[in-house]
Amino acid sequence: MPSLGDKFLGFFLVLGFATVGLCSSDKSSDVDRKLSARLNPDCPEDICTPDGNALTLIHIRADSDLDTIHYVWDLTGKPTILVALTRKNASLKINWNDFMDAKPSSVQFSETPIYTFMTVINRIFQFDDPEDKGMLGNNASSVFVYDPHEFSYNRTLLWFNEKDVIAALNANNDFLFKLNAFSTRDHGMDFPHLLHTSNSTQVDIVFNNVSSKFERPRFAIELLFVVSEQAVTGTDFQITKRRSLDDEHTPGIFEIIDVLSPGAFKFSTGGFVEYRPVSYTHPERDVSTSTETHQSEPKAIEFASDALNATLAYAIYGQKLDTLVVQGMNISFGFSGDGFYTKTNYTTLTFQVGYGMPPPEQLSAFVLIVAGIGIGLPLAMLVFGGFYICTRKMRNRRGTRV
């Protein structure tokens, strides 16, 4: 009989150690990829004045034992996020004079990358929404277009070590950009707490107190994607929707939207963009200060090398862009009855860009422990209760008293 009690003691000890183990493994110094970041690498002083913060191109190497993922955050023009998988010793070279003139091949890797995926913030739209639908229609007369190439950027933060890289910029004080790169798998610090790995980088955009041009204004953003996959007719980017098991990390939002490159969709090797269909309408992000997002179906971009003529994509690929898969989509913010953008003059979008497949959400240690207690505690009471009654009976039979 006592051996059962021992077993339970053992069970709880194991549970205890497991909990401690889970907690401490969060703090362990193990990194999946070791990060190293450079601001404006090898930029001559006449272009990047040393104390200036208007020009921002950040190159991050994320090295594993096997290979390297390069992230480039280019905010010298249209914000462009490059994710490139290379062998371990490939390096990135920028000819700054040519790059500033948007010449092809002004940005190059020392060897051809195994895979590249680029996301360009091509345009931002403010549109009138008289029917209060939250969707960007085709009524060109009521759309105001912002060209992010014309923004004046001001870098306000750059912080990095081998585990994290964080940069923040603001554009005309209207659009705030925050970028992150990571060394391990974890959830982001801020809402919507997206799950990231060392294979992805995160972009957070705030549409901050932008003056409205319409009576019922809303915003939308146009993203263009460039992948180093050959364009084949009938191979498109795919939007897939997943449901997470719980909403512990993003209260109220169970859905995850994955935008997969043709290669990622078909063979699980490609690039992806991932986000939750939520936009926060207040700096204190919460379920009560949020609204929805809507996206259009991805479509091919014709004359890609013209459309992207002054971007990092053109600086790397030039006219070759016309032979690659270049597609785009719009994401708009808001839904019927939310009071339009002017209700708070604040709205956000957070997304990840990465290589491979978006990481699946798993039940967290917290949920497992809560579930464990929910099942374990009644079970333990039952067994200990039975044990207690049994020993009482046995003691009574033997007639011993303590």
Ligand X SMILES: *[C@@H]1O[C@H](CO)[C@@H](O)[C@H](O)[C@H]1NC(C)=O
Q: How far apart are CA 49 and CA 332, in angstroms?
A: 37
Query: Which residue number, 19 or 240, has a Cβ lying nearer to ligand X?
Result: 240
Binding test (CB under 6 A) with ligand X, winner from 15, 34, 67, 144: 67
Which of positions 265-304 make contact with ligand X (CB under 6 A)? 296, 299
Question: Which one of the spans 84-92, 174-182, 362-370, 390-398 is the region binding ligand X (CB under 6 A)?
Answer: 84-92
Binding test (CB under 6 A) with ligand X, winner from 154, 235, 238, 289: 154
Q: How far apart are CA 95 and CA 97, in angstroms?
A: 6
Q: How far apart are CA 23 and CA 17, in angstroms?
A: 10
Q: How far apart are CA 151 and CA 313, in angstroms?
A: 18
Binding test (CB under 6 A) with ligand X, winner from 22, 39, 135, 143: 143
Query: Which residue number, 6 or 284, has a Cβ lying nearer to ligand X?
Result: 284
Query: Which residue number, 59 or 155, has a Cβ lying nearer to ligand X?
Result: 155
Query: Which residue number, 158 or 369, has a Cβ lying nearer to ligand X?
Result: 158
Work out whether 242 is an interface residue with ligand X (CB under 6 A).
no
Query: Which residue number, 154 or 240, has a Cβ lying nearer to ligand X?
Result: 154
Please state the φ and ψ torsions of residue 63, each to the nearest 5 degrees: -95, 130
CB of residue 192 to ligand X, shortest distance in Å:
19
Question: Which one of the spans 41-49, 137-145, 277-285, 374-382 is the region binding ligand X (CB under 6 A)?
Answer: 137-145
362 CA to centre of own chain: 17
Work out whether 100 is an interface residue with ligand X (CB under 6 A).
no
Query: Which residue number, 156 or 230, has a Cβ lying nearer to ligand X?
Result: 156
Given phi > 0 = left and psi -120 to 50 = alpha, else beta, which region is 60? Answer: beta
Which of positions 7-46 make contact with ligand X (CB under 6 A)? none
Distances in Å between the alpha carbon of 257 and those of 13, 94, 128, 232, 356? 40, 34, 26, 24, 15
Work out whether 92 is an interface residue with ligand X (CB under 6 A).
no
Binding test (CB under 6 A) with ligand X, winner from 19, 172, 309, 364: 309
Count CB neighbours of 264 within 10 A: 26
Beta bridge partners of 170: 154, 176
Which of positions 325-354 make contact with ligand X (CB under 6 A)? 328-330, 342, 344-345
- Angle subtended at Cα 261 by Cα 260 and Cα 263, rounded to the nearest 5 degrees: 115
Locate the DSSP E strands across 173-289: 175-182, 186-187, 195-196, 200-208, 217-230, 238-243, 255-260, 271-275, 278-280
Binding test (CB under 6 A) with ligand X, winner from 24, 28, 29, 89: 89
Locate the DSSP E strands across 65-209: 67-74, 80-87, 92-94, 107-109, 115-128, 143-146, 153-160, 164-171, 175-182, 186-187, 195-196, 200-208
Distances in Å between the alpha carbon of 24 and those of 12, 94, 127, 301? 18, 41, 49, 48
Output the six-digit token pair for 74.
């280019």
Output the six-digit token pair for 137.
């229609």
Nearest residue to ligand X by CB is 328
Query: Which residue number, 62 or 165, has a Cβ lying nearer to ligand X?
Result: 62
How many residues interact with ligand X (rule CB under 6 A)?
37
Q: Is the dihedral of CA 224, 72, 54, 168 positive or negative?
A: positive
Q: How far apart are CA 208 and CA 175, in angstroms?
A: 6
Work out whether 139 is an interface residue with ligand X (CB under 6 A).
yes
Query: Which residue number, 135 or 380, has a Cβ lying nearer to ligand X?
Result: 135
Question: Which one of the spans 21-29, 175-183, 306-314, 377-385 is the region binding ligand X (CB under 6 A)?
Answer: 306-314
CB of residue 245 to ligand X, shortest distance in Å:
18
Query: Which residue number, 138 or 400, has a Cβ lying nearer to ligand X?
Result: 138
Which of positions 198-227 make contact with ligand X (CB under 6 A)? 199, 209, 211-212, 222
Work out whether 356 is an interface residue with ligand X (CB under 6 A).
yes
Catalog residues that contact ligand X under the rule CB under 6 A.
Answer: 66-67, 85, 87, 89, 102, 128, 130, 136, 138-139, 141-143, 154, 156, 197, 199, 209, 211-212, 222, 296, 299, 306, 309-310, 328-330, 342, 344-345, 355-357, 359
